[in-house]
């Protein structure tokens, strides 16, 4: 019970230190480091930031964001106005390619279109997340390019070079299929295993990483 209380209080302290989050309507529940956020916040930016703040708290292993965005009366926007504002923001964002569009329903934005890189999807979400009147953003943007196997192989090599251990004996194969990369083989340490997976996630068009690496040390 004491540990659960400590984690909950750690999350609440993160909220109090975060200038973006108004935690007055947030209830924090914790079960063995799995934290659930319930209640309401007045903007989508706070919805996102509350989850990020909770992840920073000591002892938290996972965050389940059940918060609801309840807009103040003055922040409501007609769906047609919100969609037009969102599309203007997308057009003004240099990293977002042409063809990415937004529609609005009840303050919920849906992004559609196609991009080459995950960073472009992230840029599209960022461009509209802070707009007044947004209650939620659903990203349905497609990645049109498959994973580049050479790019993935380079990332794996760089990760191994950075996390080599004496008398290293690692064998890693990265198999790319569509937008998924499967890692098989063996490494010496958990740090190597995690570093390789993290590196592969940075590959162009990577949407999923299946980490089947075994630790042999």
Q: What's the domain count of the chain?
A: 3
| Residue 153 and residue 130 in one domain | no
Residues in Cβ contact with 150 at an 8 Å cutoff, skipping those fewer than 6 apart: none
| Residue 160 and residue 125 in one domain | no
| Residue 18 and residue 58 in one domain | yes
- Measured at the alpha carbon of residue 109, what is the angle toward residues 18 and 111, in degrees to the nearest 5? 105
| Residue 134 and residue 166 in one domain | no
Q: What is the pLDDT of residue 166?
A: 66
Q: What is the per-residue DSSP string for 137-175?
A: EEE-PEE-SPP-HHHHHHHHHHHHHHT--TT---EEEEE
Between these two residues, 5 and 207, which has the higher pLDDT value?
207
Q: What is the pLDDT of residue 1?
A: 47
With beta carbons less than 8 A apart as the criterion, state whether 196 and 183 touch.
yes
With beta carbons less than 8 A apart as the criterion, state whether 141 and 160 touch.
no
Residue 32: pLDDT band (50, 70, 90) is confident
Is the pLDDT at 167 greater than 70? The verdict is no
| Residue 137 and residue 174 in one domain | no
CATH assignment at residue 184: 3.30.1340.30
Last residue in a domain, options 69, 89, 111: 69
For 38-47, 58-67, 118-127, 197-206, which range has the lowest pLDDT when averaged over its residues? 197-206
With beta carbons less than 8 A apart as the criterion, state whether 18 and 47 touch.
no
CATH assignment at residue 127: 3.30.1340
| Residue 40 and residue 89 in one domain | no
**Mean pLDDT across the stretch 59-70?**
96
| Residue 77 and residue 139 in one domain | yes
For 48-52, 68-72, 147-151, 212-216, which range has the lowest pLDDT when averaged over its residues? 147-151
Question: What domain range is 159 assigned to?
Answer: 149-215
| Residue 205 and residue 160 in one domain | yes
């Amino acid at each position: 019970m004491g540990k659960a209380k400590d984690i909950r209080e750690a999350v609440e302290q993160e909220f109090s230190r975060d200038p973006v989050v108004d935690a007055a309507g947030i209830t924090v529940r914790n079960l063995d480091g799995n934290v659930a956020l319930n209640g309401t916040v007045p903007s989508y930016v706070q919805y996102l930031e509350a989850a990020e703040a909770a992840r920073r708290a000591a002892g938290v292993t996972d965050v389940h964001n059940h918060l609801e965005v309840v807009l103040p009366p003055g922040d409501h926007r007609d769906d047609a106005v919100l969609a037009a504002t969102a599309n203007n923001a997308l057009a003004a964002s240099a990293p977002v390619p042409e063809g990415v569009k937004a529609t609005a329903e009840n303050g919920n934005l849906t992004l559609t279109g196609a991009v080459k890189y995950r960073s472009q999807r992230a840029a599209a979400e960022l461009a509209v997340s802070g707009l007044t009147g947004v209650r939620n953003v659903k990203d349905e943007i497609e990645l049109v390019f498959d994973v580049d196997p050479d790019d993935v192989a380079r990332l794996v090599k760089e990760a191994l070079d950075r996390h080599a251990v004496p008398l290293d004996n690692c064998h890693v194969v990265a198999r790319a299929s569509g937008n998924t990369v499967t890692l098989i083989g063996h490494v010496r340490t958990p740090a190597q295993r995690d570093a390789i997976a993290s590196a592969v996630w940075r590959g162009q068009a990577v949407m999923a990483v299946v980490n089947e690496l075994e630790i042999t040390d």
